[in-house]
Structure 1
Amino acid sequence: MTFRRDEELENPFPLGGNSRREITKFGAVDVSSAIISITVNAKLNAISEARIVIDGKSSVISRLDFASQITVEQVVGENSRIVFTGFAVEAKVSGGRIEAVCTAIPEFSERRVSPMATVGVPATEMIYTLAKGGGLGDEQLEIHGIEELPTEVFEIIAPVEGMQIDKSVRVGEVTFAGREFLNLEGMPEANSAAEFSEFSCYAVTYATSSLLLSAETLALQEIDLSLAWLTVRSRYSVAPLPGGRIGGWERASMFVAPRRGPFVYVRGLRTKRRWLRVPEQEVQLTKLEPTSKHLDLTHPSLSRIIPLNIRQALIAAARASREKDSITRVTALWEAIEFYVGKTSVPDIFSKADRRAIRRALPEFSDQHKTKRLEMLLGDLNNPPLFVKFRRRVSLDGAPVSQSDVDLLAKLRKVRNDVVHGRSPVEPDVHEVNQGVAIVSRILVFTVGKLGNLGKGV
Structure 2
Amino acid sequence: MMQSEDEVQFQDILVLGDRVRREIVRFGSVDVSNAIVSITVKGKLNEITEAKLTVNSRSSVVSRMDLSSQVTVEQVQGDHSRLMFTGFVVSAAAEEESIRITCSARPEFAERRVAPMATADMPAIEMLYTLARGGGLSDEQIRIHGLHELPSEVFEVVCSIEGIEVDKSIPIGSVTIASKGFVDLSSVPESNGFTNEFSDASAYAITYVESRLALVAEEAAIHAFDFALSWLTVRSRYSVPPLPDGSTGSWERKSLFVEPRRGRFIYVRGLRTNRRWLRVPEQEPNMTMLQPSSRHASITRPKIPRDLARNVVQSILACARAARGDDNISRITALWESIEFYVGKTPVPDLFSKADKRAIRRSLVKFDDPLKSARLENLLADINNPPLFVRFRRRVALDGAPISQSDIDLLAKLRKVRNDVVHGRSPREPEKHEVDQGVAIVSRILVYTVHRLRGGDALG
- TM norm. shorter chain > 0.5: yes
Match of 1:449, SS state, is: helix
* Aligned residue pair count: 456
Give the Cα–Cα distance (whole angstroms) in 1 for the partners of residues 37 and 376 of structure 2: 61
> Is 2:156–2:268's contact at 8 Å kept on the other side of the alignment?
yes
Match of 1:156 in 2: 157
Q: Normalising to structure 1: TM-score of the pair?
A: 0.97
Corresponding position: 1:205 with 2:207: yes
Which residue number in structure 2 is paired with residue 295 of structure 1? 297
Residue 432 of structure 1 corresponds to 434
Counterpart pick for 2:392 among 385, 390, 393: 390
Once residues 18 and 84 of structure 2 are traced to their aligned partners in structure 1, the CA distance between those partners, rounded to angstroms, is: 15
Aligned 8 A contact 1:303 1:455 in 2: no
- The secondary structure found in structure 1 opposite 2:350 is coil
**CA offsets 1:287-328 (integer angstroms, 9 cap, x no match):** 111111111111111111211110010000000010011111
After superposition, where does 1:6-17 map in structure 2 within 5 Å?
6-9=6-9, 10-13=11-14, 15=16
Distance in 2 (CA, whole Å) between partners of 1:243 and 1:113 is 48
Aligned to 2:374: 372
Secondary structure of the structure 2 residue equivalent to 1:262: strand
Long gaps (5+) in structure 1: none
Judge conservation of contact 1:397–1:450 (CA < 8 Å) in 2: yes
> Counterparts of 1:294 and 1:384 in 2: how far apart (Å)?
40
What does residue range 107-186 of structure 1 map to in structure 2 within 5 Å? 107-180=108-181, 181-185=183-187
Q: Check the 8 A contact 1:314/1:444 in 2, yes or no.
A: yes
Q: How does 1:63-74 map to 2 (within 5 A)?
A: 63-74=64-75
C-alpha contact 2:315 2:337 (8 A) present in aligned 1: yes
- Find the counterpart in structure 1 of residue 245 from structure 2: 243
Letter of the 1:76 counterpart: Q
Separation in 2, partners of 1:7, 1:129: 29
Distance in 1, Cα, partners of 2:228 & 2:275: 26
Task: For residue 346 of structure 1, give the secondary structure of its aligned residue in structure 2.
Answer: coil
Q: CA deviation at 1:187?
A: 1.6
Q: Contact 2:7 / 2:45 at 8 angstroms: preserved in 1?
A: no
- 1:172 deviates by 1.1
In the aligned structure 2, how far is the partner of 1:263 from the partner of 1:129?
16
Matched, 1:82 2:67: no
Q: Aligned match of 2:226 in 200, 206, 224?
A: 224
1:247-296 deviation digits (Å, cap 9, x = unpaired):
11111111111100011000000010000000111222111111111111
Deviations 1:363-418 (A, max 9, x none): 11111111111111111100000000000000000001111111100000011011
- 8 Å Cα contact 1:282-1:324 kept in structure 2: no
Match of 1:400 among 387, 399, 402: 402
CA–CA separation in structure 1 for the residues paired with 2:119 and 2:403:
48
2:2 aligns with 2
Percent identical pairs in the alignment equals 59
Aligned partner of residue 419 in structure 1, secondary structure: helix
* Equivalent AA in structure 2 for residue 89 of structure 1: V
Supply the AA of the counterpart residue of 1:344.
T
Structure-2 residue corresponding to 1:32: 33
Q: In structure 2, what is the Cα distance between the partners aligned to 1:55 and 1:18?
A: 26
> Match of 1:187?
189
The answer (yes or no) to whether the contact 1:305–1:451 under 8 Å persists in 2 is no
Task: Give 1:330's aligned amino acid.
Answer: I
Question: Contact 2:2–2:23 at 8 Å: present in 1 too?
Answer: no
Helix, strand or coil for the counterpart of 2:161?
Answer: strand
Match of 1:97 in 2: 98
Q: CA deviation at 1:452?
A: 1.2
Partner of 1:383, secondary structure, is coil
The structural deviation recorded for 1:42 is 1.3
Hey, what's the Cα distance between the residues in 1 that align with 2:18 and 2:53?
A: 19
CA displacement at 1:17 relative to structure 2:
8.8
- Amino acid across the alignment from 1:152: E
- Aligned equivalents of 1:378 and 1:432: distance in 2? 38
- Return closer, same or farther for 1:7/1:176 CA change in 2, 3 Å cut-off: closer
Take 1:239 and 1:387, find their aligned partners in 2: how far apart are those partners? 43
1:89-141 deviation line (CA, Å, top 9, x unaligned): 00001222100100011111111221100001111111111111111111111
Say whether 1:316 aligns with 2:315: no
Distance 2:194 2:109 in 1: 23
Contact 2:15 2:77 in 1 (8 A): no
* Shift in Å, 1:2: 3.2
Are 2:15 and 2:80, in contact at CA under 8 Å, matched by a contact in 1? no
Q: Is the 8 A contact 2:153 2:211 kept in 1?
A: yes
- Partners of 2:188 and 2:277 within 8 A in 1: no
Following superposition, the deviation at residue 14 of structure 1 comes to 6.7
Asked if the contact 1:117/1:190 (under 8 Å) is kept, the reply is no
Deviation per CA, 1:391-446, whole angstroms, max 9, x where unpaired?
00000000011111111000000110111111112111111101100100000000
CA contact (8 A) 1:158 1:265 kept: yes
Structure 1 position 455, deviation (Å): 7.2
Given the two structures, how large is their TM-score scaled by the length of structure 2? 0.97
Identify which of 420, 436, 443 aligns with 1:418: 420
Amino acid at match of 1:217: E
Q: For residues 48 and 17 of structure 1, what CA distance do their matches in structure 2 show? A: 29
- Aligned CA distance change for structure 1 residues 128 and 16 (closer, same or farther; 3 Å): same
Pairwise CA distance, 1:36: 0.7
SS at match of 2:366: coil
Tell me which amino acid in the other structure corresponds to 1:26.
Answer: F
The residue type equivalent to 1:105 in the other structure is R
Displacement of 1:5 after TM fit?
Answer: 3.6
The residue type equivalent to 1:168 in the other structure is S
Give, in whole Å, the separation in 2 of the partners of 1:138 and 1:296: 38
